[in-house]
Amino acid sequence: DICCEYQPMGQNSFTARLKDHTEIAEHTMAFFFARPGNFDFIAGQYMEVLLLNPPETDQEGPKRDISIASAPHESDLMIATRMQNSAFKRTLGAMKEGDTIEVTKPAGTFALHGDANRSAVFIAGGMGITAARSIVLDAVHRALPHHIILFHSSRTEDDAEGKPKDYRDKIS
């Protein structure tokens, strides 16, 4: 009844298999997928995520644009999302290890600038931290000389810290 039938995204898409998921803050989950072969991206990009044959959909359908939270050097493809009450989020949250999604080639131009003589300042609220995570970890991994300043704001300390040790282990 509601909008959407499954429509493959075509030649510019990849299948990704869920390896793990964990709560990283209150009502916020990180999902770790096996990174598809030839899936290259620049830190800060996003991708379209399609849930394959979801048990339910709503008027927004089974697709969402989601920032890639992993850095390009990391072996897993990580996304993170606040688990709001939508058909998409309920289906994503119910996925089991081995379940698959379809993702598009990465898109977007939010990236670290090339001028190491200028500071890079990131101001992120809530889930906006995901793209910044990718960029900062990539810069550290590549030993870029940039001076990076990150401001992050959350509604509560639990939103910001979540499970501190588990979260730090997953992001560092």
pLDDT tens readout for residues 12-63: 899 999 999 999 888 899 999 999 999 999 999 999 999 999 999 999 999 9
Residue 21's identity, in one-letter code, is H
The larger pLDDT score, comparing residue 167 to residue 121, is at 121
What's residue 152's pLDDT? 85
Average confidence (pLDDT) over 154-159: 70
What's residue 154's pLDDT? 80
112 burial class (0-12, 13-18, 19+ CB within 10 angstroms)?
A: buried
Average confidence (pLDDT) over 151-168: 60
Q: What does the alpha-carbon distance between residue 129 and residue 138 come to, in Å, rounded to a whole number?
A: 14
The larger pLDDT score, comparing residue 11 to residue 45, is at 45
Reported pTM: 0.85
